[in-house]
Amino acid sequence: MSRLAVRLIAVLTLCFVSHSSIAADLSAARYRLTDLGDLTSDRAHGVTFVSGINKKGDIVGQTFNDQSRARAFLWQKGRMTDLGDLGAVNGQPPILSAFAVNDDSQVVGTSMGAKSPSPIRAFYWDHGRISDLGTLRGVGLDTFATSINDHGDIVGAGYRSPGDLRALRWVKKAPQELGGLTDGRVAVQAFGISEHGDIVGYLSPGGVVSFAHAFVWTKGKVTDLGTLPGTNLSIANAVNEHRQVVGQSLNTRAPGTGRAFLWEDGSLLDLGKAAAKHTSSEARAINKNGTVVGVSGAGSVTVAWIWREGVIKDLNTLIATDDPNRAFVQLVKAAGVNETEQIVAQGYDKRRGSAFVRGYLLTPVKK
């Protein structure tokens, strides 16, 4: 029996047994909050966006410095490092964002100019040195790096001609197209890669997003993951070592009603929403334990959530009662989860307003 079949049975069981050990386990989980800070002089007055976390608790994303310039950062053990840049773009300081970090603290992301149009370049950062990952076929068009595994394999996307975006993987730091299916649909963007080299993203005919389907690429073979019932579009965001894939399935005829999914062994499972009043949910990340995190809400009002073995919970309800920030911090989106169950999430301090966006590390409280 597959792991997904087991989870389906667990979900059905929860409908009849209100006090299952699984539900109790997640309800008992508690986390402590750490504000990651920013790159301003006092580390307290800038905006910070988070993207990913590795096994060691290193975190990456985008923040701002005293000059209000957007910088890619690596956060390690309470210290935030500016990753530098590839130089000015069109005579302007670049805008950088880091999207993923592996367990060797190697980082990938993108760099672009502050004015449009400006070229966008995928970058790779390795212990103090940042480098341009080049362009597809050397044509000089935009590239994006979105994920990196512990072997240093990198995936993302790039244009081979204006308007023709293709999913990429970098082989020996050279970008190569992933290809597609025999029906003409091509892999347009890649968002995640596992330690075994499985890659996920979305494919579509001619790169048209409105016809996108989530895919998993394994050793050169592309598999269409399909969509949840009642939806017609899907996108895969992440994949773990067990080839479990998470993402979102949407109905283009009903905007704002996306549903988080888990795909395994050919089957899609709807992960639900963090509250009955919510209209949309998206799964953003999954660890090797099968723990999933994401975002759920209605319109612009969202919350960060965690899903484990059939149970989904609003992370705001799981902050330790003695955490001094519990009453003030609102978590709006979870972006990553590592093997030790640490979570990185977006949020804000209610005392300063929702525009003051911050990144938070959620660390499980030992029982």
DSSP codes, 194-226: -TT--EEEEEEETT-GGG-EEEEEETTEEEEEE
Is the residue at 339 inside a domain? yes
Is the residue at 320 inside a domain? yes
Helix (H) or strand (E) holding 26: helix 21-28
Residue whose tokens read 């890669």: 193
Print the domain residue range for 334: 1-34+271-346
Is the residue at 318 inside a domain? yes
Q: Is 273 exposed, middle or buried (0-12, 13-18, 19+ CB in 10 A)?
A: buried
Q: What is the pTM of this model?
A: 0.91
Is the residue at 106 inside a domain? no
Q: How would you classify the pairing of strands 95-101 and 106-112?
A: antiparallel
Is the residue at 20 inside a domain? yes
Contact between 199 and 178 (Cβ < 8 Å): yes
Question: What total number of domains does the chain contain?
Answer: 1
Is the residue at 355 inside a domain? no
Is the residue at 162 inside a domain? no
Is the residue at 79 inside a domain? no
C-alpha to C-alpha distance for 87 and 120, rounded to whole angstroms: 12
C-alpha to C-alpha distance for 101 and 106, rounded to whole angstroms: 6
Q: What is the pLDDT along the chain (367 residues), one digit of tens a residue?
A: 444 443 433 333 333 333 334 444 666 789 999 999 999 999 988 999 999 999 999 999 999 999 989 999 999 999 999 999 998 777 778 999 999 999 999 999 999 987 777 889 999 999 999 999 999 988 889 999 999 999 999 999 999 999 899 999 998 889 999 999 999 899 999 999 999 999 999 999 876 777 899 999 999 999 999 999 999 999 999 999 999 999 999 999 999 999 999 999 999 999 999 999 999 999 999 999 999 999 999 999 999 999 999 999 999 999 999 999 999 999 999 999 999 999 999 999 999 999 999 999 999 998 6
Q: How would you classify the pairing of strands 233-239 and 245-250?
A: antiparallel
Residue whose tokens read 């081979």: 160
